[in-house]
Structure 1
Amino acid sequence: MADTGQVYVEDERLDPNSPSDVDALARMHLLADVTHGFANVLRMGAVRRGHAARAALRWRWSATSGSGRRWMASRLALRSPRHIAALRAVVGEVPDTAHGTLRPTPTQAGGTGLIRATDVDFRVCRIDVETLVRLQESAERRGLATRWSSVDALRAQVAGDRVLLQTFQRQRTADGSAVVRCLLLFGVLGDDVAGGVATLDVDPHDVQRLPRADAGPAVRSAMVDVFVLATGGIAMMTKQ
């Protein structure tokens, strides 16, 4: 994607029932979710990097959705068969591929889809780290896919009490239970100015209890813009 600027592969077999397979913005959020765990790996020395990269890949493969796994496999297949072999060596069995992509898996019908700024369940909340920890613990208890690997892992990344949460996507678990995938914008531990973006699956009832920071359509629209820019990456620019 970095080479071509494309979020979709031309011959990728897309699932029309998956928001990330039909909506470019949803696909960008998916890619941010899949890749954010690798940022720290790139900063490591050569000896630690290989082990850490394999661990990060193994975790992201287990935690991401079918669309995320399909994207990961399709991108690696574009590089070479050797890359797919390396993926199998790390994560185990990779579903059958065609044209270098995984065949789509049907999604749960009903109650899923992107949450728009005009939807009644759209909200932006400002929470502290302890509230985020409670949401993480709830996700662990329910076995939800998109979360940190542990509370310790969360505390090792998230700094301070400046966490913004935005509802992003309605999901269904394997047993049909509703869950809300949320975007998180937070300060990065060990860096006074850097921010991080991640996703977390949250129980809808827990979302309803969070204090809202959005008030009115204009504020909600502005909050969406902030999260879109943060997900795509923000850098200090020299004015020309």
Structure 2
Amino acid sequence: LPDGMRGKSLLHRGSLTLEERYYGNARSFSDEQLRATLAQFNPDWTHTDVTAPIYAESAGWDPVARMQHLDLFTWLRGDILVKADKVTMANSLELRVPFLDPEVFAVAAKLPYDQKITRTTTKYALRRALEPIVPAHVLHRAKLGFPVPIRHWLRSGELLDWAYATVNASQTGDLINLDAVRQMLEEHRSGISDHSRRLWTVLIFMLWHAIFIEGSVTPQISEPVYPVEL
């Protein structure tokens, strides 16, 4: 977002309660964008349908603990952990998640608010604990995720061609405003806006729909070839 829009968004979010403001990493569409994209938008649908029961359990906790609790029962088990588990298993890799060890989690769950974050850093207790072990240039560097350059891929080349073909062939018109998706593709391609997360969400839903509902796409997944025969 441009600086002015980002500042306006932060001010708006800062005026909301935590329950209204924070819903993990799952929010890709604003209400206005959802209204334009969904063929049948119900203004009564809201993220609080999912988050309200979880927030009810954490009433009275500090705000960081409440956000962590929400992530634990939504984003972690419904998104990132599932994706990591599936991707590694599909490639014969064993994934380890040491911070989810019950003993580690039991200690982390008792950390007070001021041991989790400070004005200058996140994961404060963890960073202090690892100071004798992890080099400073690693311990204090900026956070690195595992991004895929979807933003660039959807601006030109084969993935953009696939995106247009997927939208044009999709039979999801009763659920999604296909013209609105085409407009997002055009705005993204021309650089007017970064719609990469929204487009990817819609395109993968269309692909799922084509495979399991329409039957118009049959995945062609080759069998792996291993260097050793048993």
TM-score (norm 1): 0.26
TM-score (norm 2): 0.26
Structure with the largest fraction of helix: 2
Look at both structures and tell me which one has the larger radius of gyration over its CA atoms: 2
Structure with the largest fraction of strand: 1
